[in-house]
Amino acid sequence: MAQRMTAHLRRATRVGKKFHNPIATSVGGLSTMFKVLPLYLSNKEEKSPIFPVGPFRTDAAAYTTPPESGLRVTWFGHSASLVEIDGLRVLIDPVWDERAAPVQWAGPKRFFPPTIELESLPRIDVVLISHDHYDHLGAGSVRRLALAFPSARWVTSLGVGEILGGFGVEEQRVTELDWTQSTAIPGGLTITSVPSRHFSGRSLSNRFETLWGAFVLKGAKHIVYYGADTGWWDGFGEIADTYGPFDLTMLEIGAFHELWSEIHLGPDNAVRAFEAMGAKGLMMPIHWGLFDLALHGWRQPMERMKVLAAERGTAVWTPDPGQPTTIFPGQELWSSWWQR
């Protein structure tokens, strides 16, 4: 994996307290909220499941046997996943909280319960937190993980460590990364932060004060790209050229709308990004299927994804929620749980 500085792959720029996106980006503020309100009031989409989905259960016994290929992923909904890569386990953006919100009595509520208790997960080597938004960093989840896995390393973006510390994670267990910085995990895993086009903040008053990013997980035999939250930008090809090719490319398809297209991909731009990265390996759709965070119907991202995949020949890998599923080169997987 070559590690060279390119036109887009640079350390993050910070002016005063605020980090900047790799390219000019409009996030939107109160004016966007005023535009969204009438759309919200007139919306007739099924934004949350009318009928219960699931139940989904994760059998913890599955983790007693290593993945045959060396790469296995358990997708827990939205962006939360357990990636088992060449003998190590990375828990990504785990949100077991009831709501992706500052409080647990209001805000976007889970479509289905967690598929397994956090404390019942197998040994976790790394907890990876991409940025500080509530659908990626849940206070209750962090508190529980800090107690349940006291030896786990925590890897995150610049500035997020202070938030984790406030929820009980010991400072010496946290590694913060700037874009293009890497950290080596004992056992043969390297995690690298790469730029993404998004923003941060757990309130309107502290936007951009911590960094956000995508991440490359490089094991002894496999390389995984976790795109986290991002809009389209011209850096995808350079990321793949520098750190790839990837066996699995995890790209967001949900919580999209034209009003915030610069900070979220949606299905069309996710496929575009995958193609810009060379369309190698398999594409895993993430950031959908658990929380109502936009105006579209809850199934719409995957419905559109199926159409695009058929039109473009995209190799898609999408498992049932909570099912530890081994990844084999070139073997697509289409779960239909959202159609049941």
Strand ranges (E), 101-188:
126-129, 153-157, 174-177, 182-185
Q: Which two tokens stand for residue 155?
A: 């890897």
Token pair for 239? 């990321």
The residues, ordered by sequence, that sit 6+ positions from 126 with a Cβ below 8 Å of its Cβ are: 88, 89, 90, 91, 152, 153, 154, 155, 185, 189, 191
> Domain 27-335 adopts which CATH fold?
Metallo-beta-lactamase; Chain A (3.60.15)
Distance, CA of 87 to CA of 32 (rounded, Å): 45
Tell me how many helices (H) and strands (E) the chain has: 6, 17
Share above pLDDT 90 across residues of the chain, in percent, rounded to a whole number: 88
- pLDDT per position in the chain (340 positions), as tens? 444 456 789 999 999 999 999 999 988 665 666 666 676 667 778 999 999 999 999 999 999 999 999 999 999 999 999 999 999 999 999 999 999 999 999 999 999 999 999 999 999 999 999 999 999 999 999 999 999 999 999 999 999 999 999 999 999 999 999 999 999 999 999 999 999 999 999 998 899 999 999 999 999 999 999 999 999 999 999 999 999 999 999 999 999 987 768 999 999 999 999 999 999 999 999 999 999 999 899 999 999 999 999 999 999 999 999 999 999 999 999 999 999 7
Q: Any idea which residue has 């529980």 for tokens? A: 144
State pTM to two decimals. Answer: 0.95
Count other C-beta atoms under 10 Å from residue 39's C-beta.
11
Task: Tell me how far apart the alpha carbons of residues 190 and 181 are, in angstroms, rounded to a whole number.
Answer: 10
The tens digit of pLDDT for each residue in 153-186 reads 999 999 999 999 999 999 999 999 999 999 999 9
Do the Cβ atoms of 278 and 244 come closer than 8 Å? Answer: yes
pLDDT in tens, 192-249: 999 999 999 999 889 999 999 999 999 999 999 999 999 999 999 999 999 999 999 9
